Amino acid sequence: MSWDSLRALLVDRYEELKRRLARRLGSSDLASEALQETWLRLQRPGEPGVLNRPDAYLFRVALNVAADRRDAERRRLALSEVEMLRHLDDDELDPERFTESRSEIATLARALDELSPRCRAIFIAARLDEIPHKAIAARYGISTRMVERELKRALEHCSERLGRISPSRFGSPPSEPST
């Protein structure tokens, strides 16, 4: 099977794949976006190798794309708090909030210092310098998946240090004791 034949299969089965994805993901828009990005991921040189079930392969690629998009969206929301803290004017804060914000920024700075040098550099390149993951991967000689793992590790570490532990990583919060 070739990438061309996989793209042709994606075109032929687009509506069916979109319906299945929309049911699985709960969103027709997310399904469409995932299939569009799947098409782009199939624009590669070489051959994909032997695929016993090309339909299943396309569906899995689209599910992975959708999962990556959702993860990226969650990270952006968490980082919006950091960005908000970075851009607040001192005049906008009352003294108590100002002290609290400074403390959070200091905690974040310490958390970043606790990361490995590569993890910290990848985090800063991706989140502050807004360098695309592909360019970061090329810079460090690693895969884009490894860049994403390093970013996830950095975000989870910073969230933990700031007391914003992600339930997806650390399990659900403990239930209240019965009285």
* Mean pLDDT of the chain, nearest integer: 80
Query: Residues 36-57: what's their mean pLDDT?
Result: 83
Among left, alpha and beta (phi > 0; psi -120 to 50; other), residue 51 is: beta
* pLDDT given for residue 124 in this prediction: 87
User: How far is Cα of residue 63 from the mean position of the Cα atoms in its chain?
Assistant: 14
Q: 130-177, pLDDT tens digit by residue?
A: 889 999 999 999 999 999 999 999 989 988 888 876 544 444 344 444
The per-residue pLDDT for 147 is 94
Categorize the per-residue pLDDT at 98 as very low, low, confident or very high, splitting at 50, 70 and 90. Answer: low
Reported pTM: 0.44
What type of residue is 15? E
Task: State the virtual CA torsion across 66, 72, 78, 80 in degrees, nearest 10.
Answer: -120
Helix pair 3-12, 14-25: axis angle to 10 deg:
80
Comparing 15-29, 110-124, 159-173, which segment has the lowest mean pLDDT? 159-173
Report pLDDT for 178: 43
Query: 41 falls in which pLDDT band (50, 70, 90)?
Result: confident
Find the angle CA(100)-CA(106)-CA(110) to the nearest 5 degrees.
145
Q: Which residue has the higher pLDDT, 126 or 71?
A: 126
Look at residue 170 in the predicted model and tell me its pLDDT. 41
Q: DSSP secondary structure string, 73-136?
A: HHHHHHHHHHHHHHH--GGGS-HHHHHHHHHHHHHHHHHHHHS-HHHHHHHIIIIIS---HHHH
Average pLDDT over residues 31-49: 83
**pLDDT surpassing 70 at residue 2:** yes
